[in-house]
Amino acid sequence: MTPCASACAAALTRLPGMGPARLLAMIRDRDPRDVWDDVVHGRISKKVFAQPNLLGDSPACSDRSWASAASRFDPEAWWSKARSRGVDVSWIGRDGYPAVLADDPHPPGVIFWRGSLASLDRPRVAIVGTRSASPDGRAVAYEMGRDLASAGVCVVSGLALGIDGSAHRGALSALGEAARDPASVAATIGVAASGVDVPYPRRHAALWEEVAASGAVISETPPGYAAQAWRFPARNRIIAGLSQLVVVVESHEAGGSLITAEAAIERGIEVRVVPGPVGSSACAGSNQLLYDGAGPVRGPRDVLDALGMLMPDPPKPGQAKGRRRSRRSPDGTRISLGPTEQAVLASVGWVPSSLNKVAERSALPVAQVAGALDGLSARGLVADDRGWWTRLR
Amino acid sequence: MLATVASATLVGVEGRPIEVEVHVSRGLPSFTIVGLPDASCRESRDRVRAAILSSGLAWPQHRVTVNLAPSSLRKGGAGLDLPIAVALLAADGQLPLDALPGLGCLGELGLDGSIRRVSGVLPLVDAINAARVVVPGSCAGEASLVRPGKVVAVPTLSTLAAVLKGEEGWPETPFFLPVDDTGAGPDMADVRGQPIGRLAAEVAAAGGHHLLLVGPPGAGKTMLAERLPGLLPELTTEEALEVTRVHSAAGLPLPRGVLVRRPPFRAPHHSSSLVSLIGGGTTMMRPGELSCAHNGVLFLDELGEFPSDVLDTLRQPLEEGKVLVCRARASVVFPARVLLVAAMNPCPCGGGGAPGACRCSDAALARYAARVSAPLLDRFDLRVSVDRPDVGELMGDGSSSPAPPESSQAIARRVRAARDLAVRRGFALNSAIPARELDVAAPLQPKARTMLETRLRQGRLSARGLHRVRRVARTLADLSGHGGDIREEHVTTALALRGPVFEPEGVTL
């Protein structure tokens, strides 16, 4: 007896040596049950194995090795277990498959998710960046995630440490704040490189649950499978494919988010970049994108503007437009600084610097510098991350 | 005939008296050493024989038995060559027996009959029960530190034989005066910039707080550590004797003035074995690097590269100021009161550790941080990050740093004054103030108290960290010449000097 179509589609993804290109060649315009039947009986066309891999060499495999793997495996039992963990599946050409991906040049043949894909109907923006981000970069990603989500934009990201995690957390916080009108806020979508039930990095396990509970965690990796290295760049193409606009917040030279940006450019999707300090190596890659011609964004408003969603806001007289640079505390009161604090603030700079550097630049006694930094961070002008100080405003 | 000469052997850093008894009797010519000699001691037979023949004396064609009493104690080293030779010659009748009572001997023999230096002369001479002790010529200074006027330096076995026969008088041993040769070590004036590193070194020297320097290669961690002994006050005579005793036992070269007056600085490489750091060994219990740095600075560069079991054995000695090493045959207490200074890179890639500057994976960082156990990390009251100086600082382009850096001498003066304050309070060092005494010894002004309470409530300070911060704040106050209640600025600075190095990335934002 042939198992159900969903189980067959899911089972195809976990054949040895299966990758996005082979899967797509097999399953496009066909019923997964017929494909599975072909696998079991070793009737796979040579063309499938000759598929050029998206990302380099494919591991060797043959219809015989697949047939033997398939004969030792019960798709129905495995899939019902995954289903019980809340995993959904769809494949190209079938109901529930994200429409945006169907037109992609390299769509995932089969896609898994936990949660609801409803927010994909909204405007979608990817916020991506480095894992080792500066506190400033994380703050920008958080605020952007929060403000875009409250404006009804679905924030797509990769669930990684650093920028990705901050963007998701920002979007989730918008849901929490909008208790009165939750429908106006868009849920966030995380695209994973591992199976949707295998949180990676482990530290983000709670974040995965939250994202899956309000929005969705998506992956083309079969449930229960950890991510191999090649899954990450493959995942990045899905992030790009799902989005109307990709915002790079901070990226190292040759960072993974540049792959996302490249995939977006290939697909004709606009890439925007948050400018960073020129001396910061965390911004080397993102600044290179700017130099290469990507447009800058200064904050969520610019992103909404690029999406054509910005409601004209009567500017308040005397208020600077760049909100982050104004020397006002979060509650809007003007901050007055003493001469020591001013000197220390000037010595902190926008790139993370050690206490040693701040003391060196300001040429003030260490006791005064430490005291001033304490006061400045209490007022939200500087932040410290494991002993590294960065100016926030 | 039987002859006895007093000598001593080394156990750890202490000498134990030994009676060298030699019996010469009729029988087939033979030479036996009994009484637990180790290999180097057993080899003395051949050295003694050659030395006696080279000195124009006769090797007895009789049955010779050498006993090293007490026989329960294991004897090591070549220092017993000379007493064996003297007792042998006396027992053979070549030297008068009545010259031996009250005579102690110590020294290794060369094949030509010269008397060579041995390590540990200072504790050994201290242990010998004799009115007059013969020591190798080059060890006179060391020996007279403990037995001034009772020591004679003799260059060769033939001279000693002539003296004992009464043909010559005792050679003149110059009256020894420990000269003060506190040569100028590396100076803090060479360190440009590094305000935090300099302050941390000063606080470490003043309060005896262990110091961890974290920074990328080339940041000047070693440079700072090397200059730390120069900030410490000179050793008192008692401390100097302790240190000299250990160095003598370890066979380290002693300074020209013999007495180690300056706090020692030891920097063992990270490939050092556990025994070489802590002390021990199978036959001779040799002091380790930890004890060689007694009353001085132990510098562990590349802390993360030391095997973790080696590092963890340091924890208890650091608390107790001594280390008890036990072996099946003996157990020895080595002194180990050191100021620990350690240095390490912020991450395996050496990128500097700044958020965004380093490309180490999260797992690599976690592995790196796990190399130093949390309990050891906790021993460091001062944890500061140092970084590479700016180009302007290095080139000294006048404009950025008009004032030349302070010299070690100026800092040492403040350190001494701060230490005096601590002693007057009843503690040798602020780092040793027990937690229950802190309220009396380091009372807080209301603002300072509020600040610490806030940190505790926010979870940014642990209870144990609180005590350590208060001790460092006490030292900072003492350094500023303020012996009263601790002010807010001292607490702020103390908190800043206990940087959150190697804490996992907080889930912020």
Q: What are the C-alpha distances in Å from B66 to residues A111, A328, B88, B93, B474?
A: 90, 91, 8, 16, 61
Does residue B125 sit in the same domain as residue B26? yes
Contact criterion met (CB < 8 Å) for B356 and A130: yes
pLDDT score of B509: 28
Q: Which of residues 369-408 of B touch A (CB under 8 A)?
A: 384-387, 389-390, 393, 401
CATH topology of domain A118-306: Rossmann fold (3.40.50)
pLDDT score of A44: 85
> Chains A, B: CB contacts under 8 A, how many?
120
Task: Work out the pLDDT band at B504, boundaries 50, 70, 90.
Answer: very low
Mean pLDDT of B187-194: 85
**Nearest CA distance, B492 vs chain A (angstrom):** 6
Q: Is the pLDDT of residue A371 over 80?
A: yes
User: pLDDT tens across A135-184, in order?
Assistant: 888 889 999 999 999 999 999 999 998 899 999 999 998 888 776 677 88
Mean pLDDT over each residue of chain B, to the nearest integer:
85
Backbone φ and ψ for B400, nearest 5 degrees, come out as: -85, -35
Contact criterion met (CB < 8 Å) for B492 and A387: no
Task: Provide CB contacts within 8 A for A34, sequence distance 6+.
Answer: none
Q: Which of residues 189-228 of A touch B (CB under 8 A)?
A: 201, 203
Of the candidates A183, A161, A157, the one whose C-alpha atom is nearest the C-alpha of residue A171 is: A157
Contact criterion met (CB < 8 Å) for B357 and A352: yes
Q: Which residue of B has its CA nearest to A365?
A: B195
Does residue B350 sit in the same domain as residue B382? yes
Does residue B46 sit in the same domain as residue B88? yes
Q: Is the residue at B427 inside a domain? A: no
Q: What is the pTM of this model?
A: 0.69
> Do A12 and A79 meet the contact criterion of CB atoms below 8 Å apart?
no
> Do A373 and A385 meet the contact criterion of CB atoms below 8 Å apart?
no
- DSSP string over B227-293: HSGGGSPPPPHHHHHHHHHHHHHHTPPPPTTSS--SPPEE---TT--HHHHHEE-SSS-EE-HHHHT
Domain ranges in chain A?
Answer: 5-115, 118-306, 326-391
Q: Is the pLDDT of residue A188 over 60?
A: yes
From the list A142, A283, A387, which residue is nearest B501 (CB)?
A387
Q: Give this complex's ipTM.
A: 0.72
User: pLDDT tens across B336-356, in order?
Assistant: 999 999 998 888 776 666 766
CA–CA distance, A27 with A54 (Å, rounded to integer): 16
Does residue B229 sit in the same domain as residue B342? yes
Does residue B118 sit in the same domain as residue B9? yes
Q: Is the residue at B296 inside a domain? A: yes
Q: Is the residue at B398 inside a domain? A: no
> Do A196 and A112 meet the contact criterion of CB atoms below 8 Å apart?
yes
Task: Work out the pLDDT band at B506, boundaries 50, 70, 90.
Answer: very low
- DSSP string over A270-284: EEEE----TT-GGGH
CATH number of the domain within which B328 lies = 3.40.50.300
Does residue B114 sit in the same domain as residue B233? no
Please indicate if any CB of chain A lies within 8 Å of the CB of B461: no
Least confident segment among A160-169, A309-318, B52-61, B264-273: A309-318
pLDDT score of B505: 42
Task: Work out the pLDDT band at A6, boundaries 50, 70, 90.
Answer: very high
**Nearest CA distance, B493 vs chain A (angstrom):** 5
pLDDT score of B392: 59
3-state DSSP assignment of residue A27: helix
Please indicate if any CB of chain B lies within 8 Å of the CB of A78: no
Least confident segment among B305-319, B353-367, B408-422: B353-367
Contact criterion met (CB < 8 Å) for A388 and B353: yes
pLDDT score of B184: 67
**Rounded to 5°, angle at Cα B307 from B304 and B309:** 120
Q: Is the residue at B485 inside a domain? A: no
Write down which residue in B362, B380, B415 finishes a domain: B415
Of the candidates B286, B290, B334, the one whose C-alpha atom is nearest the C-alpha of residue B310 is: B290
Contact criterion met (CB < 8 Å) for A366 and B199: yes
Does residue B366 sit in the same domain as residue B223? yes
A354 CB neighbours in chain B (<8 A) are 196, 354, 385-387
Q: Is the pLDDT of residue A326 over 50?
A: no
User: pLDDT tens across A238-276, in order?
Assistant: 999 999 999 999 999 888 899 999 999 999 999 999 999
User: pLDDT tens across A18-76, in order?
Assistant: 888 889 989 988 899 999 998 888 888 888 888 777 665 567 777 888 888 888 889 99
pLDDT score of B182: 58
pLDDT score of B351: 67
Q: Which of residues 102-141 of A touch B (CB under 8 A)?
A: 130-135, 137-139, 141
* Total tally of structural domains belonging to chain B: 2
Q: Which residue of B has its CA nearest to A207?
A: B507
Least confident segment among A110-114, A312-316, B258-262, B349-353: A312-316
Of the candidates A211, A225, A236, A208, the one whose C-alpha atom is nearest the C-alpha of residue A116 is: A211
B509 CB neighbours in chain A (<8 A) are 135, 138-139, 141-142, 166, 169-170
Which domain covers residue B274, as residue numbers? Answer: 188-391+404-415
Please indicate if any CB of chain A lies within 8 Å of the CB of B345: no
User: pLDDT tens across B215-249, in order?
Assistant: 888 888 999 999 999 999 988 888 988 998 899 88
Task: Work out the pLDDT band at B14, boundaries 50, 70, 90.
Answer: confident
Q: Is the residue at B460 inside a domain? A: no
Does residue B225 sit in the same domain as residue B158? no
Contact criterion met (CB < 8 Å) for B489 and A371: yes
Q: Is the residue at B206 inside a domain? A: yes
Q: From 2.40.50.140, 1.25.40.20, 2.60.40.10, 1.10.10.10, which CATH number describes the A326-391 domain?
A: 1.10.10.10
pLDDT score of B107: 93
Task: Provide CB contacts within 8 A for B483, sequence distance 6+.
Answer: B421, B424, B425, B477
Give B10: exposed, middle or buried? Use CB within 10 Å, 0-12, 13-18, 19+: buried
Omega within 30 of 0 (cis) for the link into A300 = no
> Do B290 and B333 meet the contact criterion of CB atoms below 8 Å apart?
no
pLDDT score of B149: 78
